[in-house]
Amino acid sequence: MSDDRIKDGAGEPAAGRPTPTGFMRKLRPELYSDTVNRPLYILDRSMLEFQLETMTSRNEHQRFEIFCRKLCQRVICPNIRPQSGPEGGGDGKTDADTFPVAEAIADLTYIGSPGPGRDDWGFAFSAMKDWKRKVVKDVEGIAGTGRKLERIYFVTSQPARAADRARIEAELKQAHGIPVKILDRAWIVEEVIDHERKDIAHDYLGVGRMVSDPMRMGPEDYSRRRRLDDIERGLANPSTFAGIERQLVTEAIVAAQLSRNLELPRHETEGRHARAIRLAVKHGSARQQLEARHDALWTAFWWFDDAAAVSDGYGTIEAEALGADHARNIEFLVQLHQLLVNAVLYRMQAAKEADLSARSDRLEAALVAMTRDEHRPNHQLEARTSLAVVRLGRYFAEGRMDELPGVWSELGSILDEASGLAEFDADRLVRLIEVVAMPAGRDPTYRAVGERLADFVAKRTSDAQGALILLRQALNLDDDEKSERIRLFGRAAVHLAKREHAEQLIEAHQHLAIAYRGADLLWAARSSILMAAAGLAAEGEESSDLPVGFIPTVKIWAWIALQLRLVPELLLAVRLLRMSSGTLPLDEDSKDRVAEGLQEIDLAFGSNILNMDDGELRSLSALPDELSAAGLPMSRIALLYALGYEDTLREDGSIPDEMAERRAGEFFALMKAQPVSGQLFGRLILNAPTGQVIETCICGLTVEVAAPGDDAGTVTAQAVVAAFEAMLATMIEDGVGAHTERFRVDIVETDEEEPSVRTDPKAMRSLVAWPRSLPVSDFARQPDVGAFLMRVVGEAMAVTFVLPELKDTMERLVAKGSAHDRVSSILASLSALHRIVGRPVVRLDQAVKDYPMRDRPAVADMERPAGGGDDEDVLAGPKSGDGRPTVGRHRGMKVQSVIDVHSWDEARWKGILYASYGDDVPPIFALTFTNAAGARRIFERWRERFGTKDVNHDINMSIIRNLPGYPASHYAVQITSRRPDDGSWERGVLYQTVNRVHVMEPADNTNLETFLSKRRAAGCFMLAPAVLSAGQPDILTDLVILKRDINVVDAADVAEHDIENVALEMIARRRDG
């Protein structure tokens, strides 16, 4: 940072920047006072007694009555109400009386005594001097009303002798049969002064004053104060430290530190620092002298924002520290150097005023000399660490950001060497690497060091401590770094699974769920959020107090269930959300936010219902009443309307009578068009006992998992699909792509002892045989189950993705990508739902009433509003090293493929054959193969997907003529998916297509021109396979597909983003070798 960036008048922090004290207080609050200022009421006996004595002369009867009622509510019972009337009394003759409350409620009160419950007490208040006559009159008046009071209290501002009170109380009871209690001035003074109820006198009598009370200490300050007092008592007696004077110095240093932690007045703290320095100079070691001077300057900066004091005092300690022969002693100067750097960065001093450059040069020179001492390896590493700190601060202050990667590399080297030195105190190095995470940002060199740091700490201390490092690193990442967040949170979660780190484990799973959800990996997100919810529920069971964090966690669960269209869990999560918000101590704003969130979920599910097809709606015909019971009224209305029950909605008032049919249609059209309906994925999931198919999307590949509908089959399917997501979560950053659109896993239950998998690459499916005797959630078998699931995923990945180096990809996923840790977390989560609700699978309740589908009303399609940025422009976004657009969401990619790679490889495409069966029959365009089985499979699959007529032009065929560097008669044939500019392709999605390209090399154009002429005449052609057998082609006419379109283009006319350009690039690469 150059001097011209320092504002005039350096010495004050720049506007908008935090002060050093404010910054450190936020970073390290435990170093500062925890005393909270509270109101203190100043009032003594004489002042209160005078106020009471003169009430009558000031005509403050009504004020006194209010005061007495408030005091009695605090002392005697809370359920007291005033009587009406200009001066109190009313028809009941009392100034106040009690109102009845239920005994259970009375027992719960904590202000005053529990009170009379349902009994009736009367109260009379008087400031009259002749209190004796007044009490007799008031009690006679009360008794004369005929009210059956259980007791009467009479409060007077006058003093009353005990004997007089006792006599009058006895006489009144005998006369009226009601116990009377007389409370006089002495009682008032005792309750107000001795029992600290001065606030009542201040608020209702206007006596005394309120001030802030900084001496009501917090728990830390209370402990610090006691320690400080003990030390000061010891320091006051010099003989205590006779013969152990260095201990005297240590006590003086500690006393100064406690004084600053208590935030005592500056003159006290600085005086204690000055005392510590004097004693250190007289009795202390060289290190104690450095420590005492360092502490004084450290306090000046971080407690009193005094950068000038640091700069002025730096020279004194520099002269002593630079002569030190140990890196730990010079560390004091390194820390003060950082304060100079901070003063420049805070713009409290100019770099020249702080003499930063020269001081940095001298300090670096001393440290460089220490780094050459190879005989003391620990000392050498300490010096290297300090040197890195000095250079880091200097580079920031001088704006030399391009030199920071060198510091990150040096920190990594120090870390590696420290691994072999058990005696090296690595705490400072660990803290330093963590602190520089923010300025390092996304620097890959620093990221590598950060990952090694967690492993280093885990080896030095424990896996859990290493996991805490990972957790902190992950929390510092930007939201768009989805893969890195998944990797770090996933690693942390596995190693935090210990009771003493339950809170951090819950936090890791909450953030992991959010990261998974941001990457469109919703089944893995569900697993993590269930783990967090189960942990919070367990915490609530232990403490009998459900944590407030349960509410936002369940809200995330509800949204994930909605996006998955997992209806039973959506209803369960909504019910839990309503229950917890109604029982937890939330303020009104929090309750309003929960209610708004529930309304958003309700509207979103209603929108999804209106977008369902008829089959899905029929499957929900028994759901309307359950939606109502769950508190989802808009979803119920949408479902009944879609099922054709508008009359029911009008009968029960859900659709007002005054709303015309047209307006109702507009209302439902608007609900249908909500953007959230475009963010829900997959098939409708009802957890039906008949079985179901659930699915996910990995790098654009749709993975379907089918399983039986019993509890075991359902949980196994959820485990498999979540394992796919967790294991392959970070593969999106490798830029790999699938060559097929779908892969299916079928799970069948067997009586075998071990699970098995059989994968068919040509059919793009796996058959998983799962033993009935092996619950997938079996804790004892988790390592075996995890290894098997990774095998299932690995086999699927091998047959669906274009992976030039499968072994390298697997190593990146498992070793660097921590896939094994994430799969382990998935398995650990399988029991989470049971821990929350007592069952492994949530199903819909048996319906009391069914609403069979009638004629479905048409709901107009409206243009959806923008969905909040989800439709990112992938082409305009950041690019990877090879120029490919980078995508952070797995559903931000989509595979559009008509090429079954394994079948095409088996079939071995050799060329094109043209044939004609007469002018009245469309010409044949035959793809010629050498393997009949592969050729048949290709066309059978096409006919299965598109039918015998390719009406939608799904099989995109292009003939590219006049190829560069080829004879004019040569041309290329490209077969791929339909063009990406088709209107049905999704906005904001990066499509990947698979191509097959063959260059035909005929001597002339006769056959091609003949085909094109006949195709124009017929308006269509027949696409068919042909198989070469003994050199003769055999056209398989039983597999023909009628097509209308074929693109014929000239190579020179192909633009950069045309799909034919892919073919031209492939041809060029082949030609160039």
CATH number, domain containing residue 227: 1.25.40
Last residue of a domain, one of 246, 280, 304: 304
Place of tokens 């890196």: 327
Last residue of a domain, one of 170, 197, 213: 213
In the predicted structure, residue 696 carries a pLDDT above the cut 90: yes
If asked whether residues 110 and 227 sit together in one domain, one would say no
The alpha carbon of 536 is separated from its chain's Cα centroid by a whole number of angstroms, namely 15
CB atoms near residue 986 (< 10 Å):
11
Interacting residues of 872 by C-beta distance below 8 A, sequence separation 6+: 892, 988
Q: What is the DSSP pairing of strand 96-98 with strand 765-771?
A: unpaired
Q: Output the pLDDT for position 985.
A: 58
Measured CA to CA, the distance from residue 198 to residue 221 in angstroms comes to: 26
Structure tokens at 899: 């090429």
CB 1014 within 8 A of CB 917: no
Residue type, 756: S
If asked whether residues 242 and 180 sit together in one domain, one would say no
Q: Output the pLDDT for position 964.
A: 92
In the predicted structure, residue 2 carries a pLDDT above the cut 80: no
CB atoms near residue 753 (< 10 Å):
8
Q: Is residue 26 part of a domain?
A: yes
- Output phi, psi for 670, to 5 deg: -65, -40
Q: Which domain holds residue 264?
A: 20-36+218-304
Instruction: Give the range among 85-99, 450-464, 881-895 with minimum mean pLDDT.
Output: 85-99
Confidence of residue 319 (pLDDT cuts 50, 70, 90): confident
Confidence of residue 846 (pLDDT cuts 50, 70, 90): confident
Q: Is residue 1052 part of a domain?
A: yes
For the chain, how many structural domains are there in total?
A: 3
If asked whether residues 179 and 130 sit together in one domain, one would say yes
**Mean pLDDT of the region 865-870:** 49
If asked whether residues 111 and 90 sit together in one domain, one would say yes
Instruction: Give the range among 105-109, 152-156, 1010-1014 with minimum mean pLDDT.
Output: 105-109
Structure tokens at 551: 């509410």
Give the domain CATH number at 80: 3.40.91
Percent of the chain with pLDDT over 70: 91
**Mean pLDDT of the region 790-800:** 92
Q: What is the pLDDT of residues 570-588, one digit of tens each?
A: 999 999 999 998 888 888 8
The alpha carbon of 1036 is separated from its chain's Cα centroid by a whole number of angstroms, namely 58
Measured CA to CA, the distance from residue 1032 to residue 720 in angstroms comes to: 48
If asked whether residues 204 and 82 sit together in one domain, one would say yes
Q: Output the pLDDT for position 626.
A: 93
Q: Which ranges of 729-818 would DSSP assign to H, the alpha helix?
A: 782-800, 806-811
Confidence of residue 261 (pLDDT cuts 50, 70, 90): very high
Last residue of a domain, one of 184, 213, 242: 213
Q: Is residue 1020 part of a domain?
A: yes
What stretches of 979-1019 adopt beta strand conformation (E)?
990-993, 996-1000
Measured CA to CA, the distance from residue 1 to residue 400 in angstroms comes to: 8
Looking at every residue in the chain, the average pLDDT score rounds to: 86
Secondary structure (DSSP) of 156-206: ESS---HHHHHHHHHHHHHHHS--EEEE-HHHHHIIIIITT-HHHHHHHT-
Confidence of residue 1 (pLDDT cuts 50, 70, 90): very low
Q: Output the pLDDT for position 806.
A: 64
In the predicted structure, residue 456 carries a pLDDT above the cut 90: no
Percent of the chain with pLDDT over 90: 47
If asked whether residues 228 and 187 sit together in one domain, one would say no
Q: Output the pLDDT for position 1036.
A: 94
If asked whether residues 188 and 254 sit together in one domain, one would say no
Burial 905-941 (b: 16+ CB within 10 A, else e): ebbebebbbbbeeeeeebbbbbbbbebbebbbbbbeb
Confidence of residue 349 (pLDDT cuts 50, 70, 90): confident
Of 896, 1037, 902, 901, give the one whose Cα is nearest residue 979.
896
If asked whether residues 168 and 56 sit together in one domain, one would say yes
Q: Is residue 862 part of a domain?
A: no
Confidence of residue 884 (pLDDT cuts 50, 70, 90): low
**Mean pLDDT of the region 902-920:** 92
Structure tokens at 434: 């963590």
Confidence of residue 980 (pLDDT cuts 50, 70, 90): low
Q: Output the pLDDT for position 369.
A: 87
Measured CA to CA, the distance from residue 754 to residue 887 in angstroms comes to: 39
Confidence of residue 108 (pLDDT cuts 50, 70, 90): very low
Q: Output the pLDDT for position 888.
A: 76
Q: Is residue 564 part of a domain?
A: no
Structure tokens at 1: 């940072």
Q: Output the pLDDT for position 656.
A: 87
Measured CA to CA, the distance from residue 88 to residue 97 in angstroms comes to: 11
Per-residue CA distances from 804 to 437, 698, 761, 801, 807 (Å): 35, 18, 17, 9, 9
**Mean pLDDT of the region 871-885:** 47
If asked whether residues 47 and 166 sit together in one domain, one would say yes
**Mean pLDDT of the region 1038-1046:** 95
Q: Is residue 716 part of a domain?
A: no
Q: Output the pLDDT for position 759.
A: 96
**Mean pLDDT of the region 859-886:** 55
Residue type, 496: L
Instruction: Give the range among 6-15, 43-52, 1040-1049 with minimum mean pLDDT.
Output: 6-15
**Mean pLDDT of the region 82-95:** 62
Q: What is the pLDDT of residues 729-787, one digit of tens each?
A: 988 887 777 889 999 999 999 999 999 999 999 889 999 999 999 999 888 889 999 99
In the predicted structure, residue 458 carries a pLDDT above the cut 90: no
Indicate the SS3 state at residue 822. Answer: helix
If asked whether residues 208 and 88 sit together in one domain, one would say yes
If asked whether residues 170 and 226 sit together in one domain, one would say no
Q: Is residue 818 part of a domain?
A: no
**Mean pLDDT of the region 99-123:** 61
Q: What is the pLDDT of residues 388-440, one digit of tens each?
A: 888 888 888 888 888 888 888 888 888 888 887 777 777 888 888 888 877 77
Residues in the chain: 1073
Q: Output the pLDDT for position 607.
A: 94
Structure tokens at 937: 């499979």
If asked whether residues 85 and 154 sit together in one domain, one would say yes
Q: Is residue 71 part of a domain?
A: yes
